[in-house]
Structure 1
Amino acid sequence: MSGYPATAPLTERFAAQSVIEELLAVQALVPPRSRLRRMFGASPLSDASWPWYRGALGEIAVGRVLAGLGPEWLVLHAVPVGSGWADIDHVLVGPAGVFTLNTKNHAGQSIWVAGQTLMVSGKKLRHLYNSAREAARASKLLSTAVGAAVDVTAVVVIVEPRRLTIKENPRQVMVLSDRQLLGFLQRRKDVLDAEQVQRVAAAAVNARTWHTKPALPGKPDELKTNFAALRRLVDQARRRRAAWVLGVPAVGFLALATAGPLAAILSALMNR
């Protein structure tokens, strides 16, 4: 799309950038694994870094989906907002309107939605409330920047749910799986003409529209490299654990899994 600067800082941000920055900061405090823990496939992630890692995978997955949108769409990732460290996972501007996407990686879990209630594996979470507030905030900021009312649709994107059950649609928020997202956006009717899209997009790429004190551009290539290296270690550890499970006879594995320090390695880390 022409009309807004392709090299603007916000267009250079990549999916999960904010989460990865936090993940790597937390991970830097994690002690190196011992040779024994590496041998048995202990994850390099700590209890503190694991949620950030899982969140990063979710936002990256949604970023891949959004890459399927056409050139008429502006897609922004990890948009810093407010005056602190908060961000909006994804902001979309196109003929079908303006959307804020709140990505939640609940892979393998059952999601149940009815009205203003969203439950993950039976536990009620505040995803709907937070997403509605996020969209309202984005609407206010964009409207101020554009000088006209800008409606924003809130979307919660659930990554790889085991099951997504919508008993009653929420009033202010759309809830979709990552597999449903692209089709949902492509089927929406146009509500903005080309000139309106241009005006909103020009405001959206400006970091000062969103944040009171925009930070200087970081080092996205370095972040991507460091995250890729960590991801390789996590995947290697997972494969090694799987090899132990498959390669050790059941009785022997049970003995290892209950034997002193190995119990902690083989039980607490099996899901990473």
Structure 2
Amino acid sequence: MDNSGRMRDRVAGYAVMEQVVRLHGDVPPRSAVARAFGVRPLSAGTRPWFDGALGEREVGAMLDRLPDGWTVFHALPVGNGDADIDHLVVGPGGVFVVNTKNHQGAEVWVGERAVLVNGAKKPYLRNSELEASRIRQVLATAGLVAPVNAVVAVLGAKKLTVRQQPARVAVLAAGGLNRWLTRRPAGVDQATVDAIVRIVDDPATWRPAHGPSGAGSATVERFDAIAREDRAARVVRLGWLLAVALSALAVALPFLPH
């Protein structure tokens, strides 16, 4: 897969990682006691953003393994404020706007007009359609015509039930995303694919982004440090759980039948 260029150098989850770093900067450091008991370093308000960034990074790594002929972009800044497109994939089957949703251990239900997560309705279909329409406008402005498809990639769900696929958005398990993409019928000639890639790759096409967004940027390095700290806290918690379980077993052992 072609990995050279400008906008395609943006790393997956970059905009969300920026938010995590900003929010985490306002959280006081954990006390020695909190660290000893494995209290998470993340505040309750930061955790959804953190999980979202992890999800985008995981799906981004999957997409980066697509075969030659496919080009992948991540964290494209669109519209106003901090809005971005998680992933944009361009290939023989057209253009695919991929919205990653990380729902570890949740039950996700998909119907013709709604997506429910643990019974709560989410605006994923509307948001994905809006993102696809923005990309259609980008192509139209450049005089390009190609099918633009909206996709929601669900990651980590305990159960994904697709009662009926929505008409304008494909909702898929993230693990099957690459296979689904490469099985789309070819509908765009190579010259059009190349023209779309050039337009998307041009920073002038998008809202100006702040600061470097490559893998070696300060934001990515700080996020990785936060992630390591969170993983270390989880290991400590698991150690305490194991210690409690072994203690309970030691107390109960004399009363167990031999």
Shared fold, TM over 0.5: yes
What is the RMSD of the two structures over their aligned residues, measured on CA atoms?
1.9
2:2 is the alignment partner of 1:7 = no
Contact 2:144–2:196 (CA under 8 A) maintained in structure 1: no
Matched with 1:270 is none
Matched with 2:233 is 237
Q: 1:152/1:85 Cα in 2 relative to 1: closer, same or farther (>3 Å)?
A: same
**1-side partners of 2:114 and 2:206: how far apart?**
29
Contact 2:10–2:214 (CA under 8 A) maintained in structure 1: no
Matched with 2:212 is 217
For structure 1, the residue ranges without an aligned partner over 5 or more in a row are 253-272
Matched residue SS, 1:92? strand
Matched with 2:94 is 97
Could you give the per-residue CA deviations for residues 43-68 of structure 1, whole angstroms, max 9, x where no partner exists? 00011211111001100110111022
Matched with 1:21 is 18
Could you give the per-residue CA deviations for residues 85-104 of structure 1, whole angstroms, max 9, x where no partner exists? 11000001111110101100
Matched with 1:260 is none
- Number of aligned residue pairs: 247
Q: 1:163/1:219 Cα in 2 relative to 1: closer, same or farther (>3 Å)?
A: closer
Matched residue SS, 2:141? helix
Summarize the alignment of residues 1-272 of structure 1 with structure 2, pairs less than 5 Å apart: 6-8=4-6, 10-145=7-142, 147-211=143-207, 213-215=208-210, 217-218=212-213, 220-221=215-216, 222-249=218-245
The AA in structure 2 aligned to 1:105 is N
Contact 1:142–1:209 (CA under 8 A) maintained in structure 2: no
1:21 CA drift (Å)? 0.9
For structure 2, the residue ranges without an aligned partner over 5 or more in a row are 249-258
Could you give the per-residue CA deviations for residues 101-143 of structure 1, whole angstroms, max 9, x where no partner exists? 1100012111111101110111111111111111111111122
**2-side partners of 1:184 and 1:137: how far apart?**
23
Q: 1:83/1:208 Cα in 2 relative to 1: closer, same or farther (>3 Å)?
A: farther
- Identical residues among aligned pairs (%): 38
Contact 1:208–1:214 (CA under 8 A) maintained in structure 2: no
The AA in structure 2 aligned to 1:29 is D
TM-score (norm 1): 0.86
TM-score (norm 2): 0.90
